[in-house]
Amino acid sequence: MTNSDRRVSLFALCFPYQNKTFGPESSAITLGGPVQATGSLRPHIRGASTLTPFKTLALDFSVRRATILLGPRRVGKTVIIKQLINDAIISGLSPKSILYASIDAPIYSGLPLEKFISFLPADSNGQKLIIFDEIQYLRDWEVHLKDLVDNYPQIKFVATGSAAAALRLKSRESGAGRFSEFMLPPLTFYEFLVFTGKNDGLIRKGERGWYHTSDIEALNAEFVNYLNFGGYPEVVLSQTVRSNAEQFIRNDIIDKVLLKDLPSLYGISEIQQLNKLFSFLAYNSGNEASLENISQQSGLAKATIRRYIEYLESAFLIIKLTTVDDNCRTLQRERNFKIYLNNPSMRAALFAPIKDDDNNKIGHLAESAIFSQWQHSANFRHLRYARWRNEGEVDIVYLQPTDQRPLWIGEIKWSDRIATQFGDETESIRTLLQKHKTINAVVYTTKTLEKKVMLENRPMTIIPSALYCYTIGKNITARLDKAAQVATADEN
């Protein structure tokens, strides 16, 4: 597993010591923000180990590497940092030897990283822990952090950031061999159900990694709630925040990224253009697009659109999915692609919550939700969609990392039409199966229908979208970074 492929589950790290809080005499040194464990997120964890990859590496003083936790705003990074500090104190590290700095505070603008070491008390001897929250706001942080790792072996450095591309690009250029990256995406549907206490009543485990439900209508209702509110822990757990989701998600998350983070990181002056493009992409989430048609409908230049899409990806606002043809080969010149919301609940905050009878909107957001689950896996980068002439299209194509041949394919629907129109609904799937003997399984999602059939001598699992979304999130969360979790559950 490479450093860039590491993933972290919120459940693996969130509040393993929820009853332990810092007293006045044991608080870490904080700059720009408090770190007391407040218990704002309830510890809905079942069997989570405290020996998670992120925490283990972050507190392993024998490994001279900085540990970087990446993820969107408000998905729980700071909560995890609080728990890391708590665990460090419990393990015996003196609170005087722990420094937490919230770097997005204006007072630290232009301050070199090495200066923060001087903020530790002079009598703090031995091992130390320094945490930089939102490190991307410090200029040339990557160069200075590498130097700190090299020159201060008795100090462990941990950083968080919410602008992935800026961080990753710089960490790979300047921090090769010195930085280890972990990714914290939004809540999975599995985590949402556990947080809300609905998991045990709705879900039962089946065979070979599949899951089933005793009440598909109730599960679909919770899935719609997840699409509207489910990606952010604070929205899930607070009815007050949920009742004003537009304020929380749009103003506290989206607007801060569009109006502050991206302009400051990339020198964007035309902020309204960026905002206009994101609104356009969010409204059309799940639809196929091209630079040309986006330019025609938005009035923006294609070069600007291309650049802004990269920025929006870097800030965890969107997911861009590239296409292959019916030969499952990537086109040399990219013409078409799909854009999904990194967190489907952003659409509700921008426009309005969807209702359970908005079948067309739910269908597109279900695609966003399903791809969002895969962000927890390193194999996410091997997912494509297929599109070819004569209107052939398949929503999911998983390419084998070794030879880029298709291993499994899938179609995401929010209807049960396949029950009465099987031939029409599976025409494009059948085309790929006939052309590619390497495809060994098919997934087809529905609204309520569940069954297993054979198509072109290959097994096809027909499963409700909500249940499939749960299955992906559950399996990937439980056993991170294993290829079988990303493919069909039959391979688990």
Q: What is the pLDDT of residues 234-270, one digit of tens each?
A: 888 888 887 887 777 888 778 888 888 888 778 888 8
First to last CA, the chain: 18
Residue 144 and residue 72 in one domain = yes
As a whole number of angstroms, the distance between CA 48 and CA 197 comes to 17
- With cut-offs at 50, 70 and 90, classify the pLDDT of residue 141: confident
Please, are residues 215 and 203 in contact by the beta-carbon 8 Å criterion? no
Q: Give the domain CATH number at 17.
A: 3.40.50.300
Sheet architecture: strand order including 66-70: 29-31, 98-102, 128-133, 155-161, 66-70, 179-183
**Which pLDDT score is estimated for 466?**
97
Residue 88 and residue 214 in one domain = no
DSSP letter for 28, please.
P
Q: Does 103 have pLDDT greater than 70?
A: yes
The 8 Å CB, 24+ separation contacts for 467-470 are 467/211, 467/212, 467/213, 467/216, 467/219, 468/370, 468/443, 469/189, 469/223, 469/366, 469/369, 469/370, 469/373, 470/189, 470/190, 470/193, 470/203, 470/211, 470/219
How many percent of the chain have pLDDT more than 70?
A: 83
Q: Does 170 have pLDDT greater than 70?
A: no
Q: State whether residue 403 is helix, strand or coil.
A: coil
Q: Does 175 have pLDDT greater than 90?
A: no
Residue 156 and residue 200 in one domain = no
Residue 363 and residue 466 in one domain = yes
Q: What is the mean pLDDT of residues 444-458?
A: 97
Residue 146 and residue 240 in one domain = no
Q: State whether residue 421 is helix, strand or coil.
A: coil
- Sequence letter at residue 393: E
**Nearest CA to 109 among 66, 139, 69?**
139
Whole-number average pLDDT of the chain: 82
Bridge partner residues of 98 (DSSP):
129
- With cut-offs at 50, 70 and 90, classify the pLDDT of residue 478: low
Show which of 183, 215, 237 is a domain's final residue. Answer: 183
Residue 176 and residue 198 in one domain = no
User: pLDDT, tens digit, for every residue of 354-398?
Assistant: 998 899 899 999 999 999 998 777 788 899 999 998 779 999 999
Measure the CA dihedral 229/18/72/141, to 10°.
170
- Sequence letter at residue 302: K
- Tokens 């206490």, residue located: 197
Show which of 183, 211, 237 is a domain's final residue. Answer: 183
**Nearest CA to 311 among 281, 349, 345, 348?**
281
**Nearest CA to 217 among 443, 469, 466, 420?**
466
Q: State whether residue 442 is helix, strand or coil.
A: strand
Q: How far is CA 420 from CA 82, 93, 415, 445, 459, in A?
A: 53, 64, 11, 15, 19
Residue 137 and residue 207 in one domain = no
The CB density around residue 421, as the number of other CB atoms within 10 Å, is 12
Tell which wins on pLDDT, 474 or 175: 474
How many DSSP H helices and E strands does the chain contain? Answer: 23, 17
Residue 319 and residue 351 in one domain = yes
- Sequence letter at residue 110: G
As a whole number of angstroms, the distance between CA 256 and CA 137 comes to 14
- With cut-offs at 50, 70 and 90, classify the pLDDT of residue 205: very high
Q: Does 208 have pLDDT greater than 60?
A: yes
Q: Determine if the pTM surpasses 0.75.
A: yes
Query: Considering its fold, how many domains does the chain have in total?
Result: 2
**Nearest CA to 244 among 203, 253, 483?**
253
Q: HEC string of 63-85?
A: CCCEEEEECCCCCCHHHHHHHHH
- Taking only Cα atoms into account, the Rg of the chain, rounded to an integer number of angstroms, comes to 23
Residue 316 and residue 444 in one domain = yes
**Which pLDDT score is estimated for 241?**
82
Residue 276 and residue 229 in one domain = yes
**Which pLDDT score is estimated for 28?**
65
**Which pLDDT score is estimated for 252?**
75
Q: Is 273 left (phi over 0), alpha (psi -120 to 50) or beta?
A: alpha
Q: Which domain holds residue 406?
A: 189-491
List of E strands, 65-167: 66-70, 98-102, 128-133, 155-161
- With cut-offs at 50, 70 and 90, classify the pLDDT of residue 314: confident
The angle formed by the CA atoms of residues 338, 344 and 346, to the nearest 5 degrees, is 110
Please, are residues 112 and 146 in contact by the beta-carbon 8 Å criterion? no
Tell which wins on pLDDT, 485 or 233: 233
- With cut-offs at 50, 70 and 90, classify the pLDDT of residue 324: very high
Show which of 183, 203, 235 is a domain's final residue. Answer: 183
Tell which wins on pLDDT, 131 or 490: 131
**By mean pLDDT, which of 84-98, 225-239, 450-464 is the weakest?**
225-239
Residue 120 and residue 227 in one domain = no
Residue 197 and residue 159 in one domain = no
- Tokens 């965890």, residue located: 316
